[in-house]
């Protein structure tokens, strides 16, 4: 299975094969790291856990169901509990000329490949997300990954500009 993720004015949208987005994630304001979406008839909200913007809580229907943590090795740790026990994932940035992201489980098995593509017509990134093999990845995890990638890309461009 694959998804197309498009940046929109106030957040991002996740498309599968349909013309209408399955998920529309919106940030509270232009410079906010707080955002929310309706995912599978549930409200998903992500907000900062600390002042340094390196830890974020993931709430599903108002209950803390996980977190997103940026570590010092440039990796993103995502802990998420969706309809079961909490699972831990590692989102890694790979490549220099062929930049992309991979999502692995705790056993090092690649679950997803996320390939950014700069859209020159609207000056935003679009992402092609491919789920490896016969893996099942909940939309809540896809949404959390895209949120983390947006933060990563923002931090990267901010660091390059200074």
* Domain that includes residue 73, residue range: 2-161
- Our count of domains for the chain comes to 1
Tokens 């987005």 sit on residue: 21
Q: Look at residue 61 in the predicted model and tell me its pLDDT.
A: 96
pTM: 0.91
Q: Give 78-101 pLDDT, tens digit per residue.
A: 999 998 899 999 999 998 878 899
Q: What is the separation, in whole angstroms, between the first and last Cα of the chain?
A: 39
Beta bridge partners of 88: 79
């Amino acid at each position: 299975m694959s998804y197309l993720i498009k940046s929109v004015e106030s957040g991002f949208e996740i498309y599968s094969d349909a013309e209408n987005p399955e998920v529309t994630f919106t940030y509270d304001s232009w410079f906010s790291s707080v955002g929310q979406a309706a995912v599978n008839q549930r409200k998903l909200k992500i907000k900062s856990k600390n002042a340094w913007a390196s830890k974020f809580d993931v709430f599903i229907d108002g209950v803390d169901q996980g977190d997103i943590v940026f570590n010092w090795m440039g990796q993103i740790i995502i802990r998420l509990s969706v309809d079961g026990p909490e699972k831990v994932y590692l989102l890694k940035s790979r490549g220099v000329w062929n930049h992309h992201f991979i999502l692995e489980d705790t056993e090092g098995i690649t679950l997803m490949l996320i390939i950014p593509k700069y859209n020159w017509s609207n000056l935003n990134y679009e992402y092609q997300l491919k789920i490896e093999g016969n893996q099942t990845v909940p939309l809540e995890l896809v949404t959390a990954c895209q949120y983390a990638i947006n933060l990563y890309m923002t931090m990267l461009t901010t660091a390059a500009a200074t």
